[in-house]
A and B are shown apart, each in its own frame.
Chain A
Amino acid sequence: MNTKNFLYISLFTALFATSCKKDDAPAYDSNVKADLSVEFDNVVGAADLALNTGSYTNAAGESFTVTKLKYYVSNFVLTRTDGTVYTVPQKDCYFLVDESDENTHEPLLSIPEGEYKTISFLVGVDSLRSTMDLSQRTGNLDPAGVASDMYWTWNSGYIFFKMEGTSPASTMMGEYMYHIGGFGGMTSSTINNIKKVTLDLTARGVPQVKSGKSTNIHLMVDVLKMFNGSSNVSIAANPMVMFDPYSTTIANNYSAMFRHDHTEN
């Protein structure tokens, strides 16, 4: 190879390498945090949930209304398309979705820029936080504040999921109440209804999280699945379920009520 050719080849290689590098240059800076909102859109089957006014029918053939729907989501973890995992700092990561308060429907997370393929979260409050000193349970977990309606005082612990309404099938003055909790017990082992939900985001739109943008993951939360699941829940048979062995059936059912509908990048 003569000198001239060598120079050409070197120059070409260098340019090519540079251009390649330029194409691979990260569009995302994982050192920069950006907003990602996760919308919990409560629905009943194919219909939007209308508190108090909407009437629906479950698999047991019982018609019902929903007068109250609240649940905790916490401990969000997101996995990038390259497989790396980001765990949202736990203390910023407890949200109470309350159907009657629109401001609670879209928890806002601050996560590193990037493209993400899965999201996972807990429905409920982890056992560690459930037993922490009261000074570590502020904001959405304050039993004198947001959590006052979602806390069992006689059997220390958070209520993870609360759904109430009316139904002619109920033998309890036409009402039903499901208050589901149980973190596994502090002084004795007992029921654990903490549910981990993991959703694939690739089929319905990978979120491209970038500073300056406001990416939104839109989840549909079908509360009909609380009734209709691997074991159908009947209002006539169980109009009221609180801290009770049967609560595990309800928790298993509602853990399947979340699905990714679309992403707004």
Chain B
Amino acid sequence: MHRKHFIILFIFVAGIAACSKDEIADVFTGFQKPSNFPNTVYHFETNPVTKEGFELGRKLFYDPILSANNTISCGNCHIPTGSFSHPGHSVSHGIHDRLGKRNSPPIMNLAWSPTFMWDGGIFDLDLQPVAPITNHVEMDDTLVNVLNRLRNHAEYPSLFKKAFGTSEISSNNFLKALSQFMLMCVSSESKYDSVIRNQTVFSSSEQQGYAVFRQKCSECHSEPLFTDHSFRNNGLSITSVNDMGRYPVTLNDTDKYRFKVPSLRNLAYTAPYMHDGRFFTLDAVLDHYTGSVQLTPNLDPFFLQGAQPGIPLSATERENLLAFLATLNDKNFVRNTLLAEH
């Protein structure tokens, strides 16, 4: 072969390689645990994630067929560009624009979550979708109806056959498909993750903010998931809704006004904040922690270390902390075409 031909061929091959590289983001590679993450808690042994199961779950996730009048899909209140939360909505509007009382939480890194919902009332990811499907203000349907519609659908029986080897649609394989999609919503490509993996470094401000975080936030928002999955009362004022958080789930008085500690990942995409979405900005959140923590029943003792309840932050600490929190935003996650509606 001529040297010149060889070079042309090389360029041609390189061109193909480049093309396929662009498409890699859209290629299913299965569930992979990020190197800096702990072991998962989901029972993968009873529901291994497959390409077909994941794709079926994705289709179901974005399909309003799951709601009573075919108007609301899971993706309506869990928008991919919002890290699968409902940006801009304190509480979400479901079917017939009925309002709930809690903020739609992001769907990310659920394979590591031992409980679901702000109150932890659900202990298995497979059981989670049943709650919004049957909730009067969300999708207001029954599983029986949903499964019947899927069974009579032109495409779904064959998609279930591909995913689970049977075209028989049961609550088990329906919910396991949804779990497979949600399990794949892994956010682990923030700048913070790159720093931890020694691929880049923090700026000076971010580094100082990291120190502030470790001193004043990581008690609850522990790394690398930025939540310890516990339930705590962070001293929000009690509103007329009087949402008692975890109490109705356990009936233990010590659980009154406790809510699950949310992750701090992807805060840029998930405003507003808190269980009822009362704060629209991170500044408002920090204002709460520095000056507005209320002495309500079961207030977490962490807030009672100083002269007044809360966490003191100097102006510099606050600025640096916000710089650090910004390193937890994962733009690859919110733009991941694999997870978007197809």
Contact = CB atoms under 8 A, between A and B. Distances in A.
B127 A154 contact: no
Nearest to B46: A133
B121 A154 contact: yes
Most buried by A among B117, B143, B250, B251: B251
Interface size class of A (residues with CB under 8 A): 20 to 34
B46 A153 contact: no
Contacts of B114: 187
Contacts of B131: 153-154
13 contacts: A131-B124, A133-B126, A142-B171, A148-B144, A153-B130, A154-B117, A187-B120, A188-B120, A188-B246, A188-B252, A188-B255, A189-B250, A190-B252
A119 B130 CA distance: 36
A81 B275 CA distance: 59
A1 B130 CA distance: 87
Contacts of A153: 122, 127, 130-131, 133-135
Contact of A143 (B43, B171, B252, B255): B171
Nearest to A151: B130
A245 interface: yes
B144 A134 contact: no
Contact of A187 (B115, B147, B174): B115
Contacts of A264: none
A138 B175 CA distance: 13
Contacts of B147: 144
A134 B126 contact: yes
A205 interface: no
B67 to A, nearest CB: 15
A135 B127 CA distance: 12
Q: Is the interface of A mostly helix, strand, loop or mixed?
A: loop
Contacts of A188: 120, 246, 249-250, 252, 255
Contacts of B46: 133, 135
Most buried by B among A156, A186, A245: A156
B172 A155 contact: no
Contacts of A154: 117, 121-122, 131, 135
Nearest to A190: B250
A186 B120 CA distance: 10
B88 interface: no
A190 B171 contact: no
B245 to A, nearest CB: 12
Contacts of B170: 138, 142, 144
A134 B135 contact: no
A4 to B, nearest CB: 77
Contacts of B146: 144
Nearest to B134: A153
